[in-house]
Amino acid sequence: MNRQSFFGIFASLALCALLTACGGRPSTETGEGYYKVGQPYQVGNKWYYPREDYSYDETGIASWYGDDFHNHKTANGEIYNKNELTAAHKTLPLPCLARVTNLDNGRSIVVRVNDRGPFSGSRIIDLSQRSSQLLGFENQGTAKVRVQVLADESKAIADAMRRYGKPVSVASAEPVNVTPASTMISESPLIISGTPVETETITPTRTTEETHRELMETRPLPTVVQLPVTNRNRIFVQAGAFTVPENATKTQDGIRHLGPTSISTIIINGVKFYRVRVGPIATVPQADTLLFKVRQAGFRNARTIVD
């Protein structure tokens, strides 16, 4: 299943008509929001590297958050509303739009990513309570998901907020220490999983000021799209992805005692990567435990993926 764009071209107000229910009226809940990427930051022993990644397409475990954060500010100054379709992500630009698909039932929605997190266990994204309801995993608490940034739409919103949004330092509110070069285990901060996606060069949309202001207030509608999914969707802990096979072999030797390990290859933009994984793993709690052990073994960039 390739990355899909569901909202057309931005030469008109088509995006606003599809994604907002307010008909272009200003939203009181986003008046203080601003565009934000941020510098590398550390939570516990783990470093995160925010960046404008419009080819982002990853699989992993989703969780959701609700009452405890309702009406509190998000990482980019918007107000979290548990009843809207929003999400928290560790590295994506804020805000951006992403399609999230539940890999167990095929339910798929678009969310506005406007917060940082989650920083617990093996989670790849933290969704609003309403999003978890539409995707069908509110009661379970977690789900296997695929997260795909909507590149054209997100670029247009970023352009709008840069030009007309509240100015802010790109490093705002993020704890920054020294560059963690000595702690990097992979050859790149990027750890490859999921389906390869070609990187696109997209020219920012520049239309009227009115269009840009409406783009700033974009809110996804609660529309569920049913997408085809496979029945495999197994959980793995991926210790790293390497371009040098010897580094992959060395990593495999370092985690072999933790469970069945494998090295698989994938080619992205003409480059072959060697992915080192432990698994498959039966449950999310078991994946959390194994992820902790792999990171304790020195592979701090390890993550949980679904494949």
* CATH number of the structural domain spanning residue 78: 2.40.40.10
The terminus-to-terminus CA distance of the chain in angstroms comes to 13
Same domain? For 287 and 139 the reply is no
| Cβ-Cβ contacts under 8 Å for 100 (sequence gap 6 or more) | 62, 87, 108, 109, 110, 111, 125, 127, 131, 135, 145, 146, 147, 148
Q: Which of 204, 226, 248 is a domain's end point?
A: 226
Same domain? For 101 and 239 the reply is no
Same domain? For 184 and 269 the reply is no
Buried b (16+ CB within 10 A) or exposed e, 102-120: bbbebbbbbbbbbbbbbee
Q: CA 279, 260, 301, 140: dihedral to nearest 10 degrees?
A: 20
Residue 10's closest CA among 154, 195, 169, 148? 154
Same domain? For 263 and 149 the reply is no
Same domain? For 38 and 183 the reply is yes
Same domain? For 157 and 284 the reply is no
Q: Classify strands 41-43 and 46-48 as parallel, antiparallel or unpaired.
A: antiparallel
Query: What does the pLDDT profile of the chain (307 residues) look like in tens digits?
Result: 333 333 333 333 334 334 443 322 233 344 468 889 988 998 887 789 999 999 999 999 999 998 888 989 999 989 999 999 999 999 999 999 999 999 999 999 999 999 999 987 789 999 999 999 999 999 999 999 999 999 999 998 888 888 776 544 333 333 333 222 222 222 323 333 333 333 333 344 445 666 666 777 778 888 899 998 876 889 999 999 999 999 999 999 999 999 999 999 999 889 999 999 999 999 999 999 999 999 999 998 899 999 8
Same domain? For 211 and 250 the reply is no
- For residue 200, the model assigns a pLDDT of 36
Q: How many CB atoms lie within 10 A of CB 75?
A: 21
- For residue 146, the model assigns a pLDDT of 96
Rounded Cα gap, residues 142 and 260, in angstroms: 24
Q: Which of 226, 258, 288 is a domain's end point?
A: 226
Same domain? For 70 and 207 the reply is yes
Same domain? For 165 and 284 the reply is no
Same domain? For 146 and 117 the reply is yes
Q: What's the chain's Rg over C-alpha atoms?
A: 19
Angle at 294 between CA 290 and CA 295, to 5 degrees: 120
**Token couple for 274:** 């060697």
* Cis amide linkage into residue 280, ω under 30° from 0: yes
Same domain? For 166 and 251 the reply is no
- For residue 211, the model assigns a pLDDT of 65
Give me the domain span that covers residue 81. 33-226
Residue 242 in any domain: the answer is: yes
- For residue 21, the model assigns a pLDDT of 35
Number of structural domains (the chain) is 2
We report the CATH number of the domain holding residue 267 as 3.30.70.1070
Same domain? For 266 and 218 the reply is no
Rounded Cα gap, residues 103 and 303, in angstroms: 18
Residue 241 in any domain: the answer is: yes
pTM for the whole structure: 0.75
- For residue 115, the model assigns a pLDDT of 95
Cross-strand bridge partners of residue 107: 226
- For residue 169, the model assigns a pLDDT of 36
| Cβ-Cβ contacts under 8 Å for 196 (sequence gap 6 or more) | 266, 267, 268, 269
Q: Which of 196, 226, 256 is a domain's end point?
A: 226
- For residue 273, the model assigns a pLDDT of 95
* Cis amide linkage into residue 220, ω under 30° from 0: no
Residue 7 in any domain: the answer is: no
